[in-house]
Amino acid sequence: MATTSNQATWIWYPGDYEIWLGNRMNNRRTERGAFFPPFWKADSHYVTVEFSTEVDLAEAEEVEIAVEGIFNIKLDGKLQFGMPSKFLLPAGRHNLNIKVWNQATPPALYVEGKSVRTNSAWRVTYEDKEWIDESGKASDTSATIYASAGCWNFTKEQRPSAYTLCREPLAAVAVEEVTGGRLYDFGRETFGYVTFAGVEGEGEVAVYYGESPEEAQDTAYCETLDRIRFTAEEVIDLATGMAAPRGELYTFNNSKAFRYLYVVCQGVTIEQVGMAYEYAPVSYRGSFKCNDEELNRIWEVGAYTMHLTTREFFIDGIKRDRWVWSGDAVQSYLMNYYLFFDSECVKRTTWLLRGKDPVTSHTNTIMDYTFYWFIGIYDYYMYTGDRAFVEQIYPRMQTMMEYVLGRTNRNGMVEGMTGDWVFVDWADGYLDKKGELSIEQVLLCKSLETMALCAALAGEEADVEHYQQLSEALRSQLKPAFWNEAKQALVHNRIDGVQSEAVTRYANMFATFYGYLTPEEQTAIKSSVLLNDAVLKIVTPYMRFYELEALCVLGEQEAVMREMKAYWGGMLREGATSFWEKYNPEEQGREHLQMYGRPYGKSLCHAWGASPIYLLGRYYLGVKPTTPGYATYEVRPVLGGLEWMEGTIPTPQGEIYVSVTPHEVRVRATAGEGLLYLPGQADPVKIEAGVDRVVAY
């Protein structure tokens, strides 16, 4: 949530800090010692912005001013001398404008007085259009576009450009002498900066990182590595050339993902190899426990996977790509609502993924990822009730949608054009990407609906109608274009107006939980598609997320429970300590490590692997908001074969605790008005805030 208290906090142009910080995040990826930035346009902050507020003071007030950048102060339009760190505001009504220039990091401002304090109520603009005429008269500046200032929770001392995650030292749990060096095992998948203590001698050290012992010891193919040189005086990073004075402890410059380290020394000995574990200081507000220990373990490993990938932003995987991807992020958001409820990370990620105008490609270059970006914003609003964010980001939703609509065909549908990556999913089998894909049209339709909803929140009435017309026009075409009566399914695509014969799960899943199918069609696709083994199987936890969600919506929690135990339990049985980018139960041994034509290309800690976090909270404990921000919500518990379960769901105002046995449901909520739906009972039971409610059924 935006800072709503009257605490002073650092402010900036909305989205700018996020984009800048995101570049730092995305650009920490390395591949075998090479810097590896994203292949899409990286945007940057506005270098000059003006912050302003109106004050009305009973008495004069001295304010402290801290700025990241070169700045000036205008009081009632009059420039003040220099860049003071304290400034006396006179009593009465005044306009205070502070203009900041900073090329390297986002212009940021902190003002703190008895009553005048920087927060999201300040305005900010990147062009003030304040020209004067020859007589010195100020122009009409009514064309200047102001935004509400962006902010987070930074205190005066926490300069935004100096932000870092938390670190704590962690030791290896096992060390083994192996050919040529030592193999360190940190016990589970982890992330941070390797540290060396007690180094003697001069020479070079190579560190090979591995999510598996195989990877760490395969010096020719491991995905990441470091080489450093100890001289008498310095430690030199041989990839970057950066040198640091030699001291008691050497900490590597860049964080890496690993469980295993293979360390090879030439000319030096190292007393202790450790790490500075790096993490986001999130709270585990969500919880889940049940009678099935395997399921409990799945939840725990899912939560840990989420923690490792919840950082400055929600990233895909910690070894690779360490980038922010929209399709991955939108799932992280949903899991996050049932685990950390870190709204700030959702907002940061949404800003970063959007970047700045002009739009020159789809989000992350991927057509479907553009659509997930839209959809994630309305999800955010439903879970948090944060309308201010929707208002703030709405102009960039508009320009993104203009880009999309500029690439539709005469049917108002999207087809992959040059430069569009039509991703859908990684599949073990042929996936046609040509023509009008049904899944892409379903996602576009939902995106247009999202635009209409958000336009209403932003008070843009004309836009509401515009987007509603477009979404209705597209939706009315979906079934004529893709429904195949013989197959009782939406087909995969249509090329030059001709429906293909192929059926895939994707559009059928999404059309189910978006409510685009009739009850009869839903029932039909359950057997014709979702539970039909002849249809191309899904081998990523990414798409299993939606597949299992669709089955839950269709009331198949028992089947989904079996799938969760088989699939995620399967990874645990393979030794996973975090969930993977891809898992095909039919593969064996080292096959589980390879991807992208590389023996260790696969990420073994991938956010999209953690979907049970979401499924268990939303479709078993059964909690979801029914009006924005959990003002009202429903609890619709389904044991799905379990004997009992209990858990906590975070909301903006507190937690909802739910405990379920086959005969009794207990609910306790800090705030909001809930409705408890029980199996076989037509009318829901009301849940009041602060009241411990136990209902037998």
Distance between CA atoms of 332 and 608, rounded to whole angstroms? 7
Which residues, 31 to 60, sit near a copy of itself by CB under 8 A?
31-48
Which C-beta is closer to a copy of itself: that of 105 or that of 522? 105
Find the part of the chain contacting a copy of itself (CB under 8 A) among 140-148, 374-382, 529-537, 652-660: 140-148
Which C-beta is closer to a copy of itself: that of 37 or that of 187? 37
Find the part of the chain contacting a copy of itself (CB under 8 A) among 236-244, 374-382, 491-499, 641-649: 236-244
Q: How far is the CB of 134 from a copy of itself (least distance, A)?
A: 5
Please give the full DSSP string across 237-264, using - where no structure is assigned. ETTT--EEE--SEEE-SS-EEEEEEEEE
Choosing from 64, 130, 294, 558, the residue that interacts with a copy of itself (CB under 8 A) is 130
Choosing from 137, 406, 410, 429, the residue that interacts with a copy of itself (CB under 8 A) is 137
3-class SS string, 373-400: HHHHHHHHHHHHCCHHHHHHHHHHHHHH
Read off φ and ψ for residue 464, nearest 5 degrees: -55, -50
Residue 132 sits in the site that holds a copy of itself (CB under 8 A): yes
Which C-beta is closer to a copy of itself: that of 71 or that of 608? 71
Residue 363 sits in the site that holds a copy of itself (CB under 8 A): no
Which C-beta is closer to a copy of itself: that of 20 or that of 250? 20
Which C-beta is closer to a copy of itself: that of 71 or that of 152? 71
Q: How far is the CB of 420 from a copy of itself (least distance, A)?
A: 8
Q: Look at residues 497, 485, 471 and name the one whose alpha carbon lies nearest to residue 525.
A: 485
DSSP 82: S
Nearby residues of 557 by Cβ (< 8 Å), 6 or more positions away: 551, 619, 620, 638, 639, 640, 641
Which residues, 160 to 189, sit near a copy of itself by CB under 8 A?
none
Which residues, 316 to 345, sit near a copy of itself by CB under 8 A?
none
Nearby residues of 649 by Cβ (< 8 Å), 6 or more positions away: 286, 338, 617, 621, 623, 655, 656, 657, 658
Helix 326-337 crosses helix 367-384 at what angle (to 10 degrees)?
20
Nearby residues of 160 by Cβ (< 8 Å), 6 or more positions away: 10, 12, 17, 68, 105, 106, 108, 152, 154
Nearby residues of 83 by Cβ (< 8 Å), 6 or more positions away: 67, 70, 71, 72, 73
Distance between CA atoms of 196 and 271, rounded to whole angstroms? 8
Choosing from 27, 217, 484, 626, the residue that interacts with a copy of itself (CB under 8 A) is 27
Choosing from 61, 112, 344, 357, the residue that interacts with a copy of itself (CB under 8 A) is 357
Q: How far is the CB of 1 from a copy of itself (least distance, A)?
A: 29
Residue 360 sits in the site that holds a copy of itself (CB under 8 A): yes
Q: How far is the CB of 552 from a copy of itself (least distance, A)?
A: 28
Which C-beta is closer to a copy of itself: that of 222 or that of 550? 222
Q: How far is the CB of 19 from a copy of itself (least distance, A)?
A: 9
Site string for a copy of itself, 592-631 (x = CB under 8 A): ---xxxx--x------------------------------
Which C-beta is closer to a copy of itself: that of 65 or that of 470? 65
Residue 468 sits in the site that holds a copy of itself (CB under 8 A): no
Contact 605, 317 (CB under 8 A): yes
Residue 685 sits in the site that holds a copy of itself (CB under 8 A): no
Choosing from 5, 58, 140, 248, the residue that interacts with a copy of itself (CB under 8 A) is 140
Helix (H) or strand (E) holding 343: helix 343-354
Choosing from 245, 358, 515, 589, the residue that interacts with a copy of itself (CB under 8 A) is 358
Q: Look at residues 520, 526, 612 and name the one whose alpha carbon lies nearest to residue 561.
A: 612
Q: How far is the CB of 466 from a copy of itself (least distance, A)?
A: 18
Distance between CA atoms of 71 and 66, rounded to whole angstroms? 10
Find the part of the chain contacting a copy of itself (CB under 8 A) among 30-38, 181-189, 465-473, 507-515: 30-38
Q: How far is the CB of 427 from a copy of itself (least distance, A)?
A: 8
The answer, yes or no, to whether the previous bond of 679 is cis (omega within 30 of 0) is no
Which residues, 378 to 437, sit near a copy of itself by CB under 8 A?
417-421, 426
Pairing outcome for strands 632-635 and 673-676: parallel
DSSP 314: B
Contact 28, 321 (CB under 8 A): no
Which residues, 67 to 106, sit near a copy of itself by CB under 8 A?
70-73, 79-83, 85, 99, 101, 103-105
Q: How far is the CB of 256 from a copy of itself (least distance, A)?
A: 15
* Residues binding a copy of itself: number (CB under 8 A): 75
Helix 506-513 crosses helix 541-553 at what angle (to 10 degrees)?
40
Q: How far is the CB of 32 from a copy of itself (least distance, A)?
A: 6
Q: Look at residues 590, 20, 522 and name the one whose alpha carbon lies nearest to residue 313.
A: 20
Q: How far is the CB of 350 from a copy of itself (least distance, A)?
A: 20
Choosing from 1, 147, 239, 502, the residue that interacts with a copy of itself (CB under 8 A) is 239
Find the part of the chain contacting a copy of itself (CB under 8 A) among 216-224, 237-245, 468-476, 569-577: 237-245
Please give the full DSSP string across 610-634, using - where no structure is assigned. GTHHHHIIIIIS-EEESSGGGSEEE
Q: How far is the CB of 395 from a copy of itself (least distance, A)?
A: 11
Residue 253 sits in the site that holds a copy of itself (CB under 8 A): no
Please give the full DSSP string across 509-556, using - where no structure is assigned. HHHHHTT-S-HHHHHHHIIIIIT-TTS----SHHHHHHHHHHHHHTT-
Pairing outcome for strands 150-151 and 11-12: antiparallel
DSSP 211: S
Give ∠ CA 495-501-503 in degrees, rounded to 5. 105
Pull the structure tokens for residue 241: 């050339």
Distance between CA atoms of 202 and 195, rounded to whole angstroms? 17
Which C-beta is closer to a copy of itself: that of 130 or that of 558? 130
The neighbour count for residue 454, using CB atoms within 10 Å, is 25
Find the part of the chain contacting a copy of itself (CB under 8 A) among 27-35, 115-123, 485-493, 497-505: 27-35
Choosing from 58, 134, 406, 520, the residue that interacts with a copy of itself (CB under 8 A) is 134
Which C-beta is closer to a copy of itself: that of 140 or that of 683? 140
Nearby residues of 682 by Cβ (< 8 Å), 6 or more positions away: none
Residue 136 sits in the site that holds a copy of itself (CB under 8 A): yes
Which C-beta is closer to a copy of itself: that of 20 or that of 568? 20
Q: How far is the CB of 672 from a copy of itself (least distance, A)?
A: 41
Q: How far is the CB of 164 from a copy of itself (least distance, A)?
A: 16
Residue 241 sits in the site that holds a copy of itself (CB under 8 A): yes
Q: How far is the CB of 418 from a copy of itself (least distance, A)?
A: 4
